[in-house]
A and B are shown apart, each in its own frame.
Chain A
């Protein structure tokens, strides 16, 4: 069983479109994250939710809106996509002790 799963794995879309990425974890963790990884592999935290509550919002444009329907799911909706949004987006959840982060396989978003 995959611990943290994201869909889709690949997403190609045109500028100006709205798209969503879904994430689910079956580890029973309370805290989930979205990270953005650029072409130079730099991993930057975007959001963190703890038990459906937004905890961290790292100065991300408000075109990005995370939603957590329950603590096992954290989705990312992006409005009015721009070329600069092209990146790999990773979902992660952390253990109760905070000592290990489990990552999904990533969603490669390409905006054309």
Chain B
């Protein structure tokens, strides 16, 4: 099924610390996931992706971990900076019978970076 947002979880992190944002998914057939960052007043922007044949993928200061057994993925941000303050979404692009994709977004987590 698709996640329904009842509230927006908030994670408060001290500047310089590492942040971990979690996402649970329900579709066992999902084989590709993307993390998006949405800053205030802007649309979501691509951060990093991971395919189901991988457990871990690293980018610049960000790492995504995928645990297919428990249908869970996480986004780790190293040395969190004020510019990281945003709402973070995991997304599951699902193929459709028409050959296009239907992007399903998770509930989202608001990251607040404390000075």
Contact (Cβ within 8 A) B43 A41? no
- Could you tell me the distance between the alpha carbons of A98 and B41 in the complex, rounded to whole angstroms? 25
- Could you tell me the distance between the alpha carbons of A90 and B4 in the complex, rounded to whole angstroms? 18
Contact (Cβ within 8 A) B43 A105? yes
Contact (Cβ within 8 A) B98 A40? no
Contact (Cβ within 8 A) A94 B101? yes
Contacts of A68 in B (CB 8 A): none
Contact (Cβ within 8 A) A31 B100? yes
Select the stretch in B12-20, B61-69, B70-78, B102-110 that faces chain A.
B102-110
Contact (Cβ within 8 A) B89 A43? yes
Instruction: Decide if B45 is an interface residue (CB 8 Å cutoff).
Output: yes
CB distance from B45 to the nearest CB of A (A): 7
Q: Chain B: how many interface residues by the 8 Å CB criterion?
A: 33
CB distance from A90 to the nearest CB of B (A): 5
| Majority-rule SS of B interface residues | strand
In chain A between 53 and 111, which residues have their CB closer than 8 angstroms to a CB of chain B? 55-56, 90, 92, 94, 98-106
Q: Chain A: how many interface residues by the 8 Å CB criterion?
A: 25
Contact (Cβ within 8 A) A41 B87? yes
Mark A residues whose CB is within 8 Å of B: 4, 31, 33, 38, 40-43, 45, 48, 50, 55-56, 90, 92, 94, 98-106
CB < 8 Å neighbour of A50 from B45, B100, B104: B100
- Could you tell me the distance between the alpha carbons of A56 and B100 in the complex, rounded to whole angstroms? 9
- Could you tell me the distance between the alpha carbons of A31 and B99 in the complex, rounded to whole angstroms? 10
Contact (Cβ within 8 A) A105 B42? yes
Nearest B-chain residue to A32, judged by Cβ: B100
Interface flags, B34-56, vs A, CB<8A=1, else 0: 10101001111110010000000
CB distance from B7 to the nearest CB of A (A): 6
Contacts of B32 in A (CB 8 A): 99
Instruction: Decide if B113 is an interface residue (CB 8 Å cutoff).
Output: no
CB distance from B11 to the nearest CB of A (A): 14
